[in-house]
Structure 1
């Protein structure tokens, strides 16, 4: 209901107003701003207002995530999307795990394979990685020592290869590193991760059965269709020959 003022402006006599309360804050990826921003997670309650004064409660509203920069409101599922910083770290760790898995499957005797693995890991973000570090990791895996030291310093991830069948434990590690990442990558991004592993495997010639098995596991963990995985591996093989 509105009352007409002499100057033609509408004065709200009665209406609904939502009062918000901040219950949490942090950093998230704001799709409106297109980057990492601070957020406030807020809960609200509706009230009937009369002449600007709150009267009767009308119940709670769904919690929202409010961007501190643009003030847009999102559902709390917006917090499930990793920040740009977190996504970069997940991608870096994924490439690291794929490189280790391919090396473990195909062996480290050929220097071109080691160099390809080092190049992939460095490009992913571990600029200090070298052949010795990767060889130490593979040696630890072969010795079945359990938790392996990270590469590139103290901020690098530890990689765990448990006891039992190596192919089973490698598959578990690949799924743990790749499955959380897959929903946040475009198809070309997921294909790129697979192709980085393929180029490592092909650095010393055709895929061996163990390398192909690892790369097929990578494809499944990245939610790629098996036919697409086979097509990509074949295309990589033709490009390398």
Structure 2
């Protein structure tokens, strides 16, 4: 017992980065400091010998908890909301392109979906202008934008969340009537990008129709 009070190992931390992250202990977005450490043997509280480096950690500025660096791969709630908005927006644009964008009901359905996702100022004119600009620049760009948006979001969504995103697209497609062949093919592609089993995708699409 006496020896444990006399000698020990202390870690000296230094800050190498900072930013915002989702703190699991606090349950919300917080500031963090990324720390690198070096261990030293101490005698009577005085560092005397190096004992190598400590694994880097993320320290929450609020609760002071230490977490592994992998914690930073989880998006903040703010970032997650932005990823979700971008995904819904990309799906709506792709579905309008599949439908030809000629149906007023489809345009209204797309606008309603995008507004519900957080783009409150979305209008039919804005959607169609963006769709036309992207299609003229590169015909396949709409599908690429959708894939990129879903690839960024999918790892951070639970199965119900991914299913709900597919249903956003289904409601847009059905706003002017039953799925046409192009819409159904695109929705199947969305299910694949969301890493949903084909049988689940078909079940969800059928239930909506």
Query: Which TM-score band applies after superposition, normalised by the shorter structure?
Result: over 0.9
Q: 2:146 aligns with which of 174, 181, 187?
A: 174
Question: How far is the alpha carbon of 1:181 from its aligned partner?
Answer: 0.4
Q: Partner of 2:185 in structure 1?
A: 213
Q: Partner of 1:196 in structure 2?
A: 168
Question: How far is the alpha carbon of 1:190 from its aligned partner?
Answer: 0.8
- Is 1:46 paired with 2:18? no
- Is 1:57 paired with 2:50? yes
Question: How far is the alpha carbon of 1:106 from its aligned partner?
Answer: 1.1
Matches within 5 A, 1:59-208: 59-142=52-135, 144=136, 146=137, 162-163=138-139, 166=140, 169-208=141-180
Runs (4+) of structure 1 exceeding 6 A deviation are none
Higher Cα Rg, which structure: 1
CA contact under 8 A between 1:174 and 1:217: conserved in structure 2? no
Question: Alpha carbon RMSD of aligned pairs, Å?
Answer: 1.4
Question: How far is the alpha carbon of 1:75 from its aligned partner?
Answer: 0.7
Q: Partner of 1:154 in structure 2?
A: none
Q: Distance in 2 between matches of 1:53 and 1:93?
A: 54
- Is 1:227 paired with 2:190? no
CA contact under 8 A between 1:121 and 1:129: conserved in structure 2? yes
Number of positions where the alignment pairs a residue of Structure 1 with one of Structure 2: 209
Per-residue CA deviation, residues 54-81 of structure 1 (Å, 9 max, x unaligned), is 1111100110000000011111111111
- Structure richer in helix, relative to its length: 2
Q: Partner of 2:2 in structure 1?
A: 2
Q: Distance in 2 between matches of 1:183 and 1:32?
A: 21
Q: Distance in 2 between matches of 1:141 and 1:233?
A: 27
Q: Which runs of 5+ in 2 are unaligned?
A: none
The alignment's TM-score, normalised by the length of structure 1, stands at 0.83
Q: 1:16 aligns with which of 3, 9, 19?
A: 9
CA contact under 8 A between 1:97 and 1:177: conserved in structure 2? yes
